[in-house]
Amino acid sequence: MPDEAFSIDGVERAFIAHASVLIIDDDPDIHALITAMLHPLRPSIETALDGATGIAAARACLPDVILLDQDMPGATGIEVLGLLRADPELAAVPVVIITGSDSRSVLAACFAAGAADYIRKPFIGVELRARVSSVIERQRMLAQLGRAARIDKLTGLPNRALLQERLQSAIHRTEREPDYGFGVMFIDFDRFKMINDSLGHDVGDLLLAEIATRLRNNLRANDSFALDAAGTTVARLGGDEFVVILDSVRTPEQAKAAAERMLAVLERPYTLKSHSIRSSASIGITHSSGGYSSADDMLRDADIAMYEAKGRGKACVVQFSTGMREAVRQRMDTETDLRDALGTDQLFLVYQPIISLEDRHLESVEVLVRWRHPHRGMISPADFIPIAEETRLIIPLGDFILRQACHQFVKWQTCDPDHAPGYISVNLSRVQLADPAIVTRTLEILRETGVDPRQLQLEVTESQLMQQRELASTLLAAFKAEGIRIAMDDFGTGYSSLSCLQEYPFDVLKIDRALTENVGRDGGYSALLHAVVTLSENLGLHVVAEGIETLEQLVLLQALGCPAGQGYFLAKPMEAAVVETWWAGLPLRSVEAA
Ligand code: C2E
Ligand code: MG
Ligand code: MG
């Protein structure tokens, strides 16, 4: 129950529990007086008779407040305050100056030196208690605010700011204690964005909270090292990125083992609002034995290793090595250069003929992008398309490719309709196929360039479809409804699931070079190809064999009944002008059709 001591000007002060107060005053009588006056607050009290002893006592007991006499022999209160503020451990401890002076300039100097408050002698108990309580309360509120600003609201885990502090103090500890070691684990959940987009943010939030719980529980309970590892921290950086500081882990191998256990925990199914969700995580780890001096460097390396884990097909743990830094730098350079290259003639298109194996007429051309880098020369799309995908540059790049190809197609149709291909075949990246706006934009480009949707074929691979079944299926159906043809590209490299052929509205099956290559090498492959061709015919699919490199392959494919082909033996990818001279030797399509 509050006694009269807590009430001043009618304002009730909350009880200041367990406060510790340090009195620095050269007069022991003042120590006794203040102790008696503060008694109703039941604080723990330490005392010192001069500045130097006071600072030492403050370091030892880290008080909630220091009551500091201004008028001491030797250093004055304001001078001692200056020393306290300069000490990183004590700088935040609030100080109340006790002074006999009522000079405004002395009071101003107290505040200028960083005092939280002052009290003038002679003072009475009520006033002293009110000032001390209010300073402590303010300090506790500030601390609470500071904590709130360093905690992630959704999961209750430390956020980036707090993580960085803890990481930095772990690094300092390695400098002081040679035997101490720790690991850092950078975790990115593999399909979070997709789950968030398809099931909604509510489910996404629940998933993040569940991931946080699993990380916290499993580090505490299951990891033997964690039992005596008080500094183990699980933090959320934002999005689906989590970081764990594995405290007291002496070797990188131990850190890796812990990360692998964590991966298994995260891969268990999640049940959220009656949805059953399965996913995995990509984990990058780094260890203090790398000789780090900055928390940022250590986080960056763990992030690089995580990135590498994604690149290795996700759902795995990768230990950081310095070679990865160079690879990332190169990727970043490529990304910057690619951004600059967009819209310039560094990026251009080549066209590879797709030819009827029955009568050799030009059915179509596959549009393939090329990058002539000003310093590095030609860069293969196999190298830069994945980077364009990661950075989503593939979206503007894809639009550019389609627009250019459509313009070229219209030109060919106008100048030489007899030789020109009947339609163009454009590759669609997995990122484009996860973009709900892709259909509208594609139709806009077709309208703008005057190409009939039936004169466009889009090539997608099976693995693309596996990654985002529902959205891909909706988008392909929308393309199909507009009359756009859909081809399954690289058949034979993925699961080669025949059910996939029925599930999606394909018009064309493109047999991958890896299968074509083996035709004629042994009876098994030829029989397989024959089966694929026959099955496709039954399903109403047109078949194109890719990567025909020899006459022998061509003849065998014809014998197997494969209706169309593409490959270096027939024609390499060529720039538009070269295609026009190349097709002069082909039979006319109008004649063929007749
Ligand atoms: P893809 O769609 O399967 O394209 C066929 C690739 O095989 C092309 O390589 C082509 O030059 C190559 N090729 C054609 N015939 C033969 C042959 O007889 N032998 C051999 N060894 N190779 C042959 P490229 O142009 O390097 O493209 C590689 C991949 O990059 C493409 O595979 C496609 O996935 C991607 N890509 C290329 N251009 C684009 C584009 O404009 N947009 C998108 N999204 N992806 C593209
Ligand atoms: Mg293709
Ligand atoms: Mg292909």
Q: Which pLDDT does position 393 carry in this prediction?
A: 93
Maximum distance among all Cα pairs of the chain, rounded to whole angstroms: 119
Distance 40 CA to ligand 1 centre (A): 83
Closest ligand relative to 381 C-alpha: 1
What would the pLDDT profile of 45-67 be if each residue is shown by its tens digit?
Answer: 999 999 999 999 999 999 999 99
Band of residue 329 on the pLDDT scale cut at 50, 70, 90: confident
Q: What is the CATH number of domain 160-320?
A: 3.30.70.270
Q: Give yes or no for residue 510 having a pLDDT over 90.
A: yes
- Per-residue pLDDT, averaged over 259-281, amounts to 90
- Per-residue pLDDT, averaged over 311-336, amounts to 88
* Residue minimizing CA distance to atom 19 of ligand 1: 547
What would the pLDDT profile of 129-162 be if each residue is shown by its tens digit?
Answer: 999 999 998 888 888 887 788 889 899 999 998 8
pTM of the model: 0.63
What would the pLDDT profile of 514-560 be if each residue is shown by its tens digit?
Answer: 889 988 777 678 888 888 999 899 889 999 999 999 999 999 999 99
Q: What's the fold here for domain 5-148?
A: Rossmann fold (3.40.50)
Closest ligand relative to 364 C-alpha: 2
Per mean pLDDT, which range of 180-184, 264-268, 334-338, 499-503 is the poorest? 499-503
Packing angle between helix 104-112 and helix 77-86, nearest 10 degrees?
A: 10
Shortest-distance atom of ligand 1 to CA 510: 3
Distance 329 CA to ligand 2 centre (A): 29
Q: Which pLDDT does position 589 carry in this prediction?
A: 57
DSSP conformation class of 587: P
Chain mean pLDDT for the chain:
89
* Residue minimizing CA distance to atom 11 of ligand 1: 573
Pocket of ligand 1 (CB under 6 A): 352, 367-369, 380-382, 385, 401, 427, 429, 459, 489-490, 513, 547-549, 566-568, 573
Higher pLDDT, 108 or 143: 108
Q: Yes or no: say if 336 and 563 are a contact pair by the CB < 8 Å rule.
A: no
Distance 493 CA to ligand 3 centre (A): 10
Question: Which candidate, 158, 166, 150, 147, places its Cα nearest to that of 298?
Answer: 166
Helices and strands in the chain, H and E counts: 22, 23
Higher pLDDT, 165 or 398: 398
Distance 492 CA to ligand 1 centre (A): 15
Residues of CATH 3.40.50.2300 domain(s) within the chain? 5-148
* Residue minimizing CA distance to atom 37 of ligand 1: 368
Residues of CATH 3.30.70.270 domain(s) within the chain? 160-320
* Residue minimizing CA distance to atom 27 of ligand 1: 381
Task: Report domain 331-580's class.
Answer: alpha beta
Distance 513 CA to ligand 3 centre (A): 7
Which of the residue ranges 88-92, 164-168, 493-497 has the most confident prediction, judged by mean pLDDT?
164-168
* Residue minimizing CA distance to atom 28 of ligand 1: 382
Q: Give yes or no for residue 470 having a pLDDT over 90.
A: no
Residues of CATH 3.20.20.450 domain(s) within the chain? 331-580
Band of residue 16 on the pLDDT scale cut at 50, 70, 90: low
Strand ranges of the sheet holding 117-120, from the earlier edge strand across to the other edge: 44-48, 20-24, 65-69, 95-99, 117-120
284, β-bridge pairs: 186, 318
Dump strand ranges (E) for 278-380. 281-287, 317-319, 347-356, 362-373, 377-379
Distance 510 CA to ligand 3 centre (A): 7
CA distances from 587 to 359, 410, 571, 582 (A): 8, 21, 15, 12
Question: What is the percent of the chain with per-residue pLDDT over 70, rounded to a whole number?
Answer: 93
